[in-house]
A = this chain, B = another copy of it.
């Protein structure tokens, strides 16, 4: 965790992005790490946890991180939380909380509220179209004999 916090501070001083750092550990060894790089890379998805997950997957050559644990300087936002599930991480350790992030001007807490809302209640507008045509993609997937389910 101290490495994750050091990364957060490094990212701030280097103008990389927000004050967040994350590390992925497997068997006691760091296999991926990142600070937030939203500003330096012009990428709103370049959060520390996403960066650390991507780095660990690159290093281990897999899209699943079973047996790995995430250490993050702040409770993950919903994007990074869902990324932790998709990566099949074993455990998440965090230092600060979403309320601490909110006090520093970040939307983490708001986003938890938004994700839990029904679509019509969200601040972001949603509209559905062409579902029948879209289902063809799922059918193509289910019809694919060599598909890799993940």
Contact = CB atoms under 8 A, between A and B. Distances in A.
B115 A81 contact: yes
A83 B94 contact: no
Give the interface centre of A83, A92, A105 by most chain B CB atoms within 10 Å. A83
Nearest to A49: B45
A56 B50 CA distance: 18
Contacts of A87: 44-45
A9 B89 CA distance: 29
Interface string A3-41: 001001100110101111100000000000000001101
How many copies are assembled? 2
A100 B128 CA distance: 13
Contacts of A95: 128-131, 133-135
Interface residues of A, number: 87
A127 interface: yes
B101 A19 contact: no
B85 A1 contact: no
A86 to B, nearest CB: 4
A136 B111 CA distance: 23
Contact of A77 (B21, B82, B104): B82
Contacts of A137: 5, 8-9, 12, 19-21, 73-74, 96
13 contacts: A1-B130, A1-B134, A8-B137, A12-B137, A42-B63, A44-B65, A73-B134, A79-B80, A92-B126, A95-B129, A95-B131, A96-B138, A104-B141
